[in-house]
Structure 1
Amino acid sequence: ITFNEPYIFAAYGYATGLFAPGRGSSQQADCVDGDTGTKKPNHIGLLPRRGCFLKSLRYLGGDPGTEPYIVGHHQILAHAKAVKLYKSKYKHQNGQIGVTLNTDWYVPYSNSEKTERLHLELDFSLVVLHPLVYGDYPASMRDLVKKRLPKFKDDEIVLVKGSYDFLGINYYTANYAKNNPNVDPNKPSQVTDAHADVSTVRDGVSIGPKVRKDSWLAVYPQGLKDLMIHIKKYYRDPPIYITENGYLDYDCPNVEKLIKDEGRVKYHQQHLIKLHESIKAEVNIKGYFAWTLLDDFEWSRGYTMRFGITYVDFKHKTLERIPKHSARWFNHFLHTRRWFTTNPSKIFAKANIIKLPQS
């Protein structure tokens, strides 16, 4: 894999300023929830397009209307050159090379904008894939971004087109999307170029269950299947690995609660079922990787979010590991090839909860 989530690097680093090098709009720019219209600070570790839209932008430096596209463009070229190098010098290894992209699934807020809004959102979030398959950016992006979107030279088109053996996809959640006609043309930004308001909530109801009301992750397994079929249909049926798919818990002092993670078990059950349905629909699925084996450092959220199927005690130097119920479920699933059991308590009967020392 040449790059993991190149879109995030370009957007978070050069449009929102949330990640290094911190260029673009301020992390504290006014962010308005796409459904309720209430303001919330834009420092939540997410792109403003996921769950809210920016009413005003305060710049940290740089140009969020051009730099994210320049950075993304050079990531595509760098990827293609790495693929060319591998194919020319290391082909004898019989290995494969590809790139991993992240995207949510998008559900139109209303039937009136169904097809157009869905495709436009995916054009922006899968921006790297279109050049790899067709040699250029989507026409929808050319229409909206215009001269700010870089152009590929003739030799670069040849280099980029077809530069992958497989596609990695990181999928977690889905959002409602609707048109936003109020984008300020005098403050162009990659964040607002799709002219979209995005939210997990419509008419006060979440698109799927959440571990907490303010969580960005709403459980929507159907989105994984819909995404797989979309990629098969519009991007020439590439071999696909699900390189990340996971469920978050927020850190809390109750270790036993974190270990008894039935929500995570259900999340993986439901997504694997939809992935199996995708395979039956002849999507070229090659593999599935759960995010993640261990609780880890989640970038701007640090250790406050836990995605692991194994609990890690970050408060003590031992960093003790304790398998969660989800780890035992995965063990059961991989041995029996059954993702459901009529009596889940049998799987977890031996899941002894270790009491950690109080800090």
Structure 2
Amino acid sequence: MVDTNLDAFRFSISWSRLIPNGRGPVNQKGLQFYKNLIQELVTHGIEPHVTLYHYDHPQYLEDEYGGWLNRRMIKDFTAYADVCFREFGNHVKFWTTINEANVFSIGGYTDGLTPPGRCSIPGRNCLSGNSSTEQYIVGHNLLLAHASASRIYKQKYKGGFVGLSLYFLGLIPSTSSKDDYIATQRAQSFYTGWMLGPLIYGDYPDTMKRIVGSRLPVFSEEESEQVKGSSDFIGVIHYHAASVTNIKSKPSLSGNPDFYSDMGVSFHYFGKIFDFKFAVAPWAMEVVLEYIKQSYGNPPVYILENGTPMKQDSQLKQKDTPIVEYLHAYIGGVLKSVRNGSDIRGYFVWSFMDLYEIFGGYEVGFGLYSVNFSDPHLKRSPKLSAHWYSDFLNGKTAFLGSQGIKELQSNLSLNSY
């Protein structure tokens, strides 16, 4: 990381590793592992950005009361966050409570594609679930847990920043029709306004409340006040662009309404997401950042993930020109957004090293550094993108011009996960 000139590094703490039963005794070996990592980062002048929850929680809590479907999770998550704040807070000033809160809810409880794999959609390999209601219950509890952890931090620790991260698609209408324009606004409200609305304004978007009706949980007045303003920053995770087409009546596969039928749109992705061929569409990043600025009062933003993968069996893996081209284009899009007034505080590449990807496993790598997974020492080697990014951070590349580089560096930290 020092050789690459990083000034910050984002990583996740595993709740299961730190407190195996979800609450109670802390695993001292897990605690020491994270303390060592954080100390090493700080010693080398690298700012740690910590994510407290990245799709994983102790199985014990899932078995005991259903995990995020139960409001008891709010108390247990807050206690876990409190341990992290207390043990690591001397050196950590940037905290993300929940990673991709919207996609975690949709993937885990609408279509069952991500942990814990719950759904009621026919043909999916889900053992249980209810795709009509569960994602909304989980999303509600995630917001309350985030707000609770944020409040504990401000009461007891202070001195740092607590935010929530969301997955953003760069959305544009498929046609110039009024229907597709309105559908795009509705898709934004469902996909990210679902969480941004409560964080900024204290309640869900009116569109969601009207369509979802009684299936959407309601904030009490006290809860609304707690959630509103609980994020010091919005964490933006962005990879893809899509066009939006209105669907007048989108029946769900099960016959019961679900998140997708509620949203009433179809997405046409640029590039192939599940084949890991991402389109280079930097305008999509600008669309996301402009939407946050215009619709939600221009809150501070950290871009916590942005990148593109390459197949691991590619002989050109080390000469990963597509990754360089992607990062080049998207960082340029970030610069345009900075110039247009978006309050962007930092940018992180996904990812520093090749790692296990939730859909691609070890078959694809987003890393600036490749990892030889068949080597017992897991040898790391810099790819072309690592050299390029290092030069960029050092101001040694003509990319963006010297003025553009200086402007970006003065506005934000450019980093890695």
- Deviation of residue 25 (structure 1)? 3.8
Q: CA contact under 8 A between 2:328 and 2:399: conserved in structure 1? A: yes
In the other structure, the counterpart of 2:293 is: 232
- Deviation of residue 215 (structure 1)? 3.7
Determine the C-alpha separation between the residues in 1 that align with 2:101 and 2:368: 26
Given candidates 214, 217, 232, the residue that maps to 1:147 is: 214
Tell me which amino acid in the other structure corresponds to 1:5: E
SS at match of 2:262: coil
In the other structure, the counterpart of 1:350 is: none
Determine the C-alpha separation between the residues in 1 that align with 2:121 and 2:371: 33
Determine the C-alpha separation between the residues in 2 that align with 1:8 and 1:213: 15
- Deviation of residue 298 (structure 1)? 0.6
In the other structure, the counterpart of 1:196 is: 265
SS at match of 2:317: helix
Q: CA contact under 8 A between 2:105 and 2:139: conserved in structure 1? A: yes
In the other structure, the counterpart of 1:285 is: 344
Tell me which amino acid in the other structure corresponds to 2:282: P
Query: Could you list the per-position Cα deviations for residues 131-155 of structure 1 after superposition, in whole angstroms to 9, with x for gaps in the alignment?
Result: 0101111111112211111110011
SS at match of 1:288: strand
Given candidates 10, 13, 21, the residue that maps to 2:116 is: 21
Determine the C-alpha separation between the residues in 2 that align with 1:166 and 1:303: 32
**Percent identity (aligned):** 36
**Are 1:98 and 2:166 an aligned pair?**
no
- Deviation of residue 89 (structure 1)? 0.7
Mapping for residues 159-308 of structure 1, pairs under 5 Å: 159-184=226-251, 186-200=255-269, 207=270, 214-215=275-276, 217-252=278-313, 254-255=314-315, 257-308=316-367
SS at match of 1:12: helix
Q: CA contact under 8 A between 2:183 and 2:264: conserved in structure 1? A: no
- Deviation of residue 190 (structure 1)? 1.6
Tell me which amino acid in the other structure corresponds to 2:186: L
Query: Could you list the per-position Cα deviations for residues 157-202 of structure 1 after superposition, in whole angstroms to 9, with x for gaps in the alignment?
Result: 11111111111100101011101234227411123321111112xx
- Deviation of residue 90 (structure 1)? 0.7
TM-score scaled by length of structure 2: 0.69
**Are 1:134 and 2:201 an aligned pair?**
yes
Given candidates 78, 95, 111, the residue that maps to 2:176 is: 111
- Deviation of residue 341 (structure 1)? 8.8
SS at match of 1:282: coil
Determine the C-alpha separation between the residues in 2 that align with 1:68 and 1:108: 26
Determine the C-alpha separation between the residues in 2 that align with 1:158 and 1:214: 43
In the other structure, the counterpart of 1:6 is: 101
- Deviation of residue 218 (structure 1)? 2.1
Task: Give the direction of change, closer, same or farther, for the CA distance of 1:217–1:192 in structure 2 (3 Å limit).
Answer: farther
Determine the C-alpha separation between the residues in 1 that align with 2:153 and 2:396: 36
In the other structure, the counterpart of 1:319 is: 378
Determine the C-alpha separation between the residues in 1 that align with 2:396 and 2:232: 28
Q: Unaligned 5+ residue runs, structure 2?
A: 1-95, 402-417
Given candidates 187, 190, 200, the residue that maps to 1:124 is: 190
Task: Give the direction of change, closer, same or farther, for the CA distance of 1:189–1:89 in structure 2 (3 Å limit).
Answer: same
- Deviation of residue 117 (structure 1)? 1.9
- Deviation of residue 214 (structure 1)? 4.2
Task: Provide runs of 4+ in structure 1 moved above 4 Å.
Answer: 26-29
- In terms of fraction of residues, the more helix-rich structure is 2
Determine the C-alpha separation between the residues in 2 that align with 1:298 and 1:332: 27
Determine the C-alpha separation between the residues in 2 that align with 1:7 and 1:213: 19
Task: Give the direction of change, closer, same or farther, for the CA distance of 1:216–1:265 in structure 2 (3 Å limit).
Answer: closer
More deviation in 329-338 or 319-328? 329-338
Task: Give the direction of change, closer, same or farther, for the CA distance of 1:16–1:63 in structure 2 (3 Å limit).
Answer: same
- Deviation of residue 339 (structure 1)? 5.4
Tell me which amino acid in the other structure corresponds to 1:326: S
SS at match of 1:197: strand
TM-score scaled by length of structure 1: 0.79
Determine the C-alpha separation between the residues in 1 that align with 2:398 and 2:132: 46
C-alpha root-mean-square deviation of aligned residues, in Å?
Answer: 2.1
**Are 1:87 and 2:182 an aligned pair?**
no
Q: Unaligned 5+ residue runs, structure 1?
A: 30-57, 201-206, 343-359
Determine the C-alpha separation between the residues in 2 that align with 1:247 and 1:19: 20
Determine the C-alpha separation between the residues in 2 that align with 1:339 and 1:230: 30
- Deviation of residue 337 (structure 1)? 5.9
More deviation in 294-303 or 64-73? 294-303
Determine the C-alpha separation between the residues in 2 that align with 1:133 and 1:327: 37
